Amino acid sequence: MLALGKLLELTLTGHEPAEKTQVTPRGVRLRWLGQGALEVSPSAADDCGLDLLLSAGIHGNETAPIELLERLLHGVARGDIVPRARVLLLFGNPAAIVNGERFVEQDINRLFNGRHEQSSGPEALRAAELEQFARVFFSKPGRSRLHYDLHTAIRGSRIEQFALYPFKQGRTHSRRELARLAAAGMEAVLLQCKPSITFSAFTYEQLDAESFTLELGKARPFGQNDAVNLDKLEARLVHILQATEPDDGGSLEGLQLFRVAREVIKHSDGFRLHLPADIKNFSPLDKGYLLADDLAGVRWVIEEEGARIIFPNPKVRNGLRAGIIVVPDDGENLA
């Protein structure tokens, strides 16, 4: 196999390849851009006009998506997969991946859209570098832009695989993209309603890509991901790469839609989240329930019908989101 087809190995060892550019037997060019960053380019004759960014390992202990991207790259390097899309593969936080930890000093997925400029340390530097990789990759005019940022979750979930769809004033969420997610095995999509500081929010808000954070199951170490079934997603990604997607008719059947009702923000060290430590994402919350309180004088009492909680985490830094209250959405505002 071509040396550049072993991007994970290069990333884990910190090696810089002697050859920065290689061509597969099928004429696909692989170009090493930096640690954990590889560009895949089809021949000009085969190019379908799509620029596809696939990122994983933004949190270093979320290994199933990393293994998925490595499988896809191996297929390209062997010639089994012949992409017609331009592809940028990014392993987001190499140091955290090596350590098998979520992050080194701070959560890199809270440092995009300019937040890294207000911080310091390895994650802030890497967030700035990832933004630049994406900015250059998506700089070609007249092309479609798609970004999947692949994750697994800290905790279990009542809905195993779901996506978060960022928000930008003046843009409408796409029914076509939601149908593509449904075909890729996503069971639910959270339609966000305010700007964010995640990687997918950066590419959606700043670079006009169709961008999604995909949550694909529970985080486990390398080699222990048999319980994370990514077959549908992997098959759909191969179709996207090769421009062979079947016409699914744009169906959203079976896809649950949610929207953010409120974010729970931790204001001080006196923040308390009144939930079991092992509660699963999308667990229902009864009206009137005291979800959280903070010595800063803030209380979160459930007022919404059909409310559920996702990403509860009382250990985040002060000022950051400690959970999201979501409610069902009827999809009336889709484009």
β-pair type (144-153, 188-191): unpaired
Taking residues 50-57, what's their average pLDDT?
A: 98
pLDDT tens digits, 253-269: 889 999 999 999 999 99
**Per-residue model confidence (pLDDT) at position 77:** 95
- Specify binding-site residues: 59, 62, 151
Cα gap 236→245, rounded to integer Å: 7
Cα end-to-end span (Å), the chain: 43
Mean pLDDT, residues 306-333 taken together: 92
Q: Give the separation between CA 211 and CA 204, rounded to whole angstroms.
A: 5
Is 215 labeled as catalytic in the residue annotation?
yes
Q: What is the pLDDT of residue 297?
A: 87
Domains and CATH numbers, the chain: 3-242 (3.40.630.10), 266-328 (2.40.50)
The confidence score (pLDDT) of residue 259 equals 95
pLDDT tens for each residue of 267-315: 999 999 999 999 999 999 999 999 999 988 899 999 999 999 999 999 9
Share of the chain above pLDDT 90, in %: 84
Q: What is the pLDDT of residues 170-182, one digit of tens each?
A: 999 999 999 999 9
Look at residue 247 in the predicted model and tell me its pLDDT. 81
- pLDDT for the residue numbered 275: 96
Using one digit for the tens of pLDDT, what is the confidence trace for 3-37?
899 999 999 999 899 999 999 989 999 999 999 99
Indicate which residue of 215, 263, 303, 332 is catalytic: 215
Q: What is the pLDDT of residue 296?
A: 83
pLDDT digits (tens, 9 = 90+) for 131-157: 999 999 999 999 999 999 999 988 889
Over 90: is that where the pLDDT of 333 sits? Answer: no
Q: Cα separation of 252 and 178, whole Å?
A: 7
* Vertex 251 angle, CA 259 and 75, to 5°: 95
Interval 212-254: pLDDT, tens: 999 999 889 898 898 889 999 999 999 999 999 998 777 888 8
Residue 67: how many other CB atoms lie within 10 Å: 16
d(CA 232, CA 242): 16
- The mean of the pLDDT values for the chain is 94
What's residue 149's pLDDT? 98
Q: Which residues are annotated as a binding site for Zn(2+)?
A: 59, 62, 151
User: What is the C-alpha R_g of the chain?
Assistant: 20
Residue 64 has pLDDT above 90, yes or no: yes
Average confidence (pLDDT) over 68-92: 97
- Give the whole-angstrom CA distance, residue 243 versus residue 196: 31
**Residue that has been written with the tokens 């930008």 in this structure:** 168
Question: pLDDT tens digits, residue range 150-166?
Answer: 999 888 899 999 999 99
